Amino acid sequence: MVKDTLYAPEKTKNKPFEFNEDVARVFPDMLKRSIPGYGASIQAIGSLAGRFVQPDSHCYDLGCSLGASTRAILKNITVAGCHIVAVDNAPAMVRRARALLESDSTPGRTQVSVIEADVQNVEITNASMVVMNYTLQFLPLDERPAMIHRIAAGMIPGGVFVLSEKVVDEDAGIEAALVKLHHQFKRSNAYTDLEISRKRSALENVLLPETVATHQRRLIDAGFRNVGVWFRYFNFISILAIR
């Protein structure tokens, strides 16, 4: 695992965040040290796959990055005839995801396709599981409702949608406390205050968080019959939505 030093003091320029080769190279370390509970949420996605994926259906990992959710789904599917479609628009992520998944895609097992594309341009059909792990937050705000409606429309009854996002709390005092706790989490994982500040500036106007209530209303409006938060750690949440 290559250590994330993208925002270390020796880096002279602070550019807007993008999923390029530099980020892909350090991404596993970045996730581990930046997102509280990330490993546990990936493990749980695997458990959900074992429970919800239906025979002869599709699973989608939208914004798959290096394919962690894809691999968790693949290892836990217990039914036949499934096809996992992993999608990302960053060439560096797609290249590495394909390499990491090669050893898991053995003959006779679930078919896996890793596609380089914008998630908004991918057709969702016959889906019993869809995952968007910290992906929707990078889409323009006005394009998010249509994305969620497309996902819901492409899912079969009983299918599950897992939506993980960084959120902003409606209570300003709680939000301030959560931000401080998250920064302390990063410090405990050996990020300096300068690195924390630089990354926050790089993500400004790139990652646009919303409230939990906004996400829940959008999912209900799209036609999901059951919607609820199943995981939260500070200002990072994951929602289950059942079609």
Tens-place pLDDT, residues 148-185: 999 999 999 999 999 999 999 999 999 999 999 999 99
User: What average pLDDT is seen over the chain?
Assistant: 91
Tokens of 215: 């996400």
What's the confidence (pLDDT) of residue 223? 97
Q: Which of 75-79, 92-96, 177-181, 194-198 has the lowest mean pLDDT?
A: 194-198
Q: Are the C-beta atoms of 209 and 201 separated by less than 8 Å?
A: no
Task: Please identify, in words, the CATH class of the domain defined by 40-168+207-242.
Answer: alpha beta
Average pLDDT over residues 234-240: 96
User: Residues 6 or more apart from 113 whose CB is under 8 A from it?
Assistant: 83, 84, 85, 86
Whether the predicted pLDDT of 106 surpasses 60 = no
Summarize pLDDT for 186-205 with one digit per residue, the tens.
999 999 988 988 888 888 87
pLDDT tens, residue by residue, 21-31:
888 888 888 88
Domain boundaries, the chain: 40-168+207-242
Q: What percent of the chain has pLDDT over 90?
A: 77
What would the pLDDT profile of 40-64 be if each residue is shown by its tens digit?
A: 999 999 999 999 999 999 999 999 9
**Tokens at 1, concatenated:** 């695992």
